[in-house]
Structure 1
Amino acid sequence: MQNKNIEYKSFIPNQGLEDFVESFWMLTNLSEEREEVAVLPDGRVDVLFSVSETEPYHVMLMGLDTAASKGILLPGEKIYALSFRLLAVEYVLDLHLSELLGHVLVLPENFLGVSASDLKSFTGFYSRVSEQLLQRLKKPVKEKKRKLFELIYASNGSMTVKELSEKVNWSSRQINRYFNDRFGLSLKTYCNILRFRASFQQIKDGIFYPQQDFSDQAHFIREVKKYSGVIPKELNKNKNDRFIQFSTLPKK
């Protein structure tokens, strides 16, 4: 990251968690000043364990976003987090997120057996939470749901609802009912968010023409602006490193 005041690290999940967890990550504001950031929609459900010099330890679940949102990293704030795939909402968290679209849910301070003292070692946090998550996976995943999400993620959201429905033998109506009830948005909207996210790296690398099955250049620009609030060239500049997920991507 260009912003030397922010430290970022990430781990991929242990075997057995890959269908439910995309990554574990840590973000720390090393400065004594507040850092303003913008969070882009990326199709993940994040749980944040946070502590700072001025705020007590707390745990939050971030609902899915459909537009960029603003945030603040407090002086000295340390965030340990895990980013869930959507299967985890039902099979790990056992939640319905339909009322949490773009909102935050405060979780118990002992969620997943984590306490403020666990925010001293990222490796220790990763091990403790991985163990807790594996213990929660008691309910077998329905095969059509596993297959559906496997196709969605493998295609970066580029498959149509009709194609997905035919592949998993699950009607479009039933899939959308499931998505709206469990996650608060349609399958098509979720796929559009994943396709937008899949464009992050190319935009950071200065490639401003569509590579993710957008219909044309104008469609690509509209979708990027819809979800980020800016056109691709401005997102590429990422002034003041404000788009935090974008800042953590490697630059070729």
Structure 2
Amino acid sequence: MSATFQYHAIKPETELAAFVESIGMFGNFSPAEKELVVLPDGRIDLFFMFTAEGGFQVLLMGLETSSDMRVVPAGMYAYAVSFTPLGLEYILDIPIADILNSAKVLPAGFWDNKPAWFENLETFNRHAIQKIHSLLRSKVDERKRKLFELIYASQGELSVNEIADQIGWSSRQINRYFNAQFGLPLKAYCDILRFRKSLEHIAVGKLFPELDFTDQSHFIREIKKYAGALPKELSKNKNDRFILLSVLKQR
């Protein structure tokens, strides 16, 4: 990733790992706008965004099911909390079914944020973690906890019926929950997680399926469906356009 466009993230403590994937900061610190392609990754992002002109906005991004070209203006930067679906429900408590592939503007004072939060990533991380702990409900439905443990452990490769059998929750109930809360069925979410895992392989030059795809053609079709580009183009990642790939390559 270039020096002018920066992304840094902190992993949460183990206690919060099921609810928060990362807390980060990104910014375009160049004199020119930056074109980026955002790829589906199965996360729900809460952004506190600043513009070069002094503007401020809080945005909640819904899940994405396809790639999206975005322009980051010069001087724009943002702090972000990336939630898992479980974190969305048990911390934010804001359904996002109505903002699939879009975003919701939240009040500028959301979470009672103060200017002191945004001195740097460390101060934002500290204040965000304190807020998250104050909001996190103590009782989590164990079926839902197990549901997401299985989804992540399998990288999205278990079928809906296999998951239903293991958690004692019917596939119809699971899909009703996913559609009402997140705006898509479980199978679609699992496919996004499998796509994201494949990006980790593509980021290091592995252009053939490492997961359970039928064959190379199936792999290519699925990658193009979600990324709008072939694996070879993604691997080159010219000008760091595919920001998720750039982040994965840093790990």
TM-score class, shorter-chain normalisation, is over 0.9
The alignment partner of 1:99 has SS state of helix
CA contact (8 A) 1:113 1:132 kept: no
Q: Which residue of 1 aligns with 2:102?
A: 103
Q: Which residue of 1 aligns with 2:168?
A: 169
Which piece of structure 1 moves more, 61-70 or 6-15?
6-15
Q: Which residue of 2 aligns with 1:246?
A: 245
Residue type at the aligned position of 1:212: L
Q: CA deviation at 1:112?
A: 2.0
Q: CA deviation at 1:99?
A: 0.9
Q: Which residue of 2 aligns with 1:150?
A: 149
CA contact (8 A) 1:49 1:58 kept: yes
CA separation in 1, counterparts of 2:118 and 2:49?
Answer: 8
Q: Which residue of 2 aligns with 1:203?
A: 202
- After superposition, residues 1-252 of structure 1 pair within 5 angstroms as 1=1, 3-54=2-53, 56-250=55-249
CA separation in 2, counterparts of 1:165 and 1:55?
Answer: 49
Q: CA deviation at 1:88?
A: 1.6
Structure 1 unaligned regions, length at least 5: none
Q: CA deviation at 1:249?
A: 2.1
The alignment partner of 2:97 has SS state of coil
Residue type at the aligned position of 2:230: I
Q: CA deviation at 1:154?
A: 1.2
CA separation in 1, counterparts of 2:54 and 2:40?
Answer: 26
Which piece of structure 1 moves more, 124-133 or 113-122?
113-122
CA contact (8 A) 2:43 2:85 kept: yes
Residue type at the aligned position of 1:88: G
CA separation in 2, counterparts of 1:250 and 1:228?
Answer: 16
The alignment partner of 2:143 has SS state of helix
Runs of 4+ displaced beyond 4 Å: none
Which piece of structure 1 moves more, 165-174 or 201-210?
201-210
Which piece of structure 1 moves more, 213-222 or 52-61?
52-61
CA separation in 2, counterparts of 1:244 and 1:81?
Answer: 15
The alignment partner of 2:22 has SS state of strand
CA separation in 2, counterparts of 1:79 and 1:214?
Answer: 36
Structure 2 unaligned regions, length at least 5: none
Which piece of structure 1 moves more, 113-122 or 23-32?
113-122
Deviation string for 1:21-71 (max 9, x for gaps)? 000111121111111111000000001111121351111000000000121
Report % sequence identity. 45
CA separation in 2, counterparts of 1:50 and 1:115?
Answer: 13
CA separation in 2, counterparts of 1:138 and 1:167?
Answer: 25
Q: CA deviation at 1:202?
A: 1.1
The alignment partner of 2:132 has SS state of helix
Deviation string for 1:114-145 (max 9, x for gaps)? 23442221101001010101111135111000
Which piece of structure 1 moves more, 68-77 or 110-119?
110-119
CA contact (8 A) 2:66 2:227 kept: yes
What's the RMSD between the two structures over aligned residues? 1.4
Number of residue pairs aligned between Structure 1 and Structure 2: 251
Residue type at the aligned position of 1:27: F
The alignment partner of 1:170 has SS state of coil
